[in-house]
A and B are shown apart, each in its own frame.
Chain A
């Protein structure tokens, strides 16, 4: 009988620690599918910093490095600069990438590091139990914005894809979501494109994935998907914010 569906080879056959309804599982899967389809598991090094996905080293079959909070782009830079022929990705949450690691995010893009950054935006700190993230929406109730995020008190959310798209070293900045089958297919295509960019040496590719956190949002998985669609996508519009044809650097001998 033909096999029509199976676990990606680059995912390890273990139960994950993620909460029911959390979309990390979907993103792990499509990322693993891309690695499998490109046949690059043996040449890939993943870097997962502090956050719910810090233990992704137990789930991915490629070599993995756990990084400090916000520092994955710097760690990945060290890996890639010494192993330019290998594939390197980071997998970061919103607090990690857009708060404590903002400098690392900006400069990994400014330098045009030839790596892939997978950015999970679920508008909340999941691992520590639901505090305000840099991407928490105005009015959103979290443990540290118990009356709803008031921008006058707690500032405005950061739109990462738009910001990273302004930097010259960025080859791809795209925001996707994993709330529906068509969107999941688009998300996988974006991740594939990011890795193809790395293969072609184009520069920094960032894929922002709008995700859910039913546990800390206090919603059922179904309600959480609906919140993503009704509240997050209008604030964080899906789409391609930057996509270069050629690499971000001029060809040898040329000038930008």
Chain B
């Protein structure tokens, strides 16, 4: 298979186009700018629409409009911009529309900084907008995974009719790696039963809507959506387990941080410390079965994140607080080093 050296942000864009994304609506923000620039260059030739919106809010609502007509649509941004999109994401979820949203995270809160961060974990997995709803959240750790997860994201979005997020970070967005693009069938999902693209006097009119003024009707719509979420929790979790079979210390990390942690795990093994790595590829649904498998022989868990520890609660819940969960993190755009992580492993390892 042909392999190309590509920057993360550009690979995200190329994968989306190949996945049949017919429109991209975005607004400039660092560090995801190359994605929109790539779309601006390529989308027209690919027979799609690129449009720079007047705001993040407009961009996500343009996605809502395009998705309403049954077309594969996407937007991308970075942390402060994703906050602005949250209203639209909630409407997309409430209207049962498929859409892909990419967050190339940077440090926060507020304007924060432009260096890599994972401090939008809570926003992505718990609260990207008002109301009872979830997004499927994929966390790539390489440029190849960015490609693979974009393709998967469009499929999951269509299959479950819901918004799906790629939670990347500035490090992944800016780095270059060789990638290959899989075969894709973007027309696998028939949307003719709900798409609002003109009835042509051949069917009843279609309504795309998230408003239910009668509480029992709204409750039913939400409960039905949660039945769908139950299926997703059962079938869509994904994680990498690395040297976990005999590990005493199970490190937990996702995205770019997992690359750093993997080096530290290898260094620890070289020094005779039985460390392993659990890397969730889906942050929602959280891979509960997988982490319990990975942690079955571990005495302690250590979550390493580019945040103040936003994944720790999910780990504790997943293992039902059966083992201690320690945390080490850097935030604000600081990337932890393998040396720092190894120190933490040794500190905890010394107490075992």
Contacts and interface: CB of A to CB of B under 8 A. Distances in A.
A74 B61 contact: yes
A240 interface: no
A45 interface: yes
B88 A71 contact: yes
Interface stretch (A55-63, A179-187, A202-210, A213-221): A55-63
A97 to B, nearest CB: 14
A182 to B, nearest CB: 33
Contacts of B202: 42
B201 A68 contact: no
A187 B270 CA distance: 81
Contact of A82 (B22, B199, B207): B22
30 contacts: A42-B198, A42-B200, A43-B198, A45-B196, A54-B211, A57-B209, A63-B199, A63-B205, A67-B64, A71-B64, A71-B88, A74-B53, A74-B57, A74-B59, A75-B64, A76-B65, A78-B23, A78-B64, A78-B65, A78-B69, A79-B196, A80-B65, A81-B51, A82-B65, A82-B66, A82-B73, A83-B69, A103-B58, A107-B54, A107-B58
Contacts of B207: 57-58, 63-66
A64 B198 CA distance: 9
Nearest to B195: A63
Contact of B196 (A54, A58, A64): A64
A74 B202 CA distance: 28
Contacts of B66: 78-79, 81-82
A193 B320 CA distance: 65
Interface of A: 41-45, 47, 54-55, 57-58, 60-68, 71, 73-83, 86, 103-104, 106-107
Contacts of B88: 68, 71
Contact of B198 (A44, A54, A66, A71): A44
B198 A86 contact: yes
A63 B197 contact: yes
Interface in B150-200: 196-200
Interface residues of B, number: 40
B197 A103 contact: no
Contacts of A41: 199, 201
Contacts of A58: 207
Given A62-B205, A63-B206, A78-B65, 11 more contacts: A41-B199, A58-B207, A71-B61, A75-B68, A77-B51, A78-B25, A78-B62, A78-B63, A81-B23, A82-B73, A104-B61
Contacts of B65: 47, 65, 67, 74-80, 82
Interface centre among A41, A78, A82, A104 (most CB of B within 10 A): A78
Contacts of A42: 198-202
Contacts of B67: 78
Nearest to A84: B49
Given A63-B196, A63-B197, A78 B68 contact: yes
B62 A75 contact: yes
Interface of B: 22-23, 25, 49, 51, 53-55, 57-59, 61-69, 71, 73, 87-88, 91, 95, 196-202, 205-211
A43 B208 CA distance: 16
A66 B92 CA distance: 11
Contacts of B22: 82
A146 to B, nearest CB: 28
B255 to A, nearest CB: 30
Given A75-B65, A79-B69, A82-B71, A103 B211 contact: no
Contacts of B58: 71, 73-74, 77, 103-104, 107
Q: Which 6 A-B pairs rank lowest in CB-CB distance, beginning with the nearest?
A: A78-B65, A74-B61, A75-B65, A63-B196, A78-B66, A78-B62
Contacts of A103: 54-55, 57-58
Nearest to B202: A42
A103 B62 CA distance: 14
A83 B209 CA distance: 19
Contacts of B57: 71, 74, 103
Nearest to A43: B198
Contacts of A65: 64-65, 68, 196, 207-209
Given A68-B61, A71-B88, A74-B53, A62 B68 contact: no
A66 B211 contact: yes
Interface centre among B49, B208, B210, B211 (most CB of A within 10 A): B208
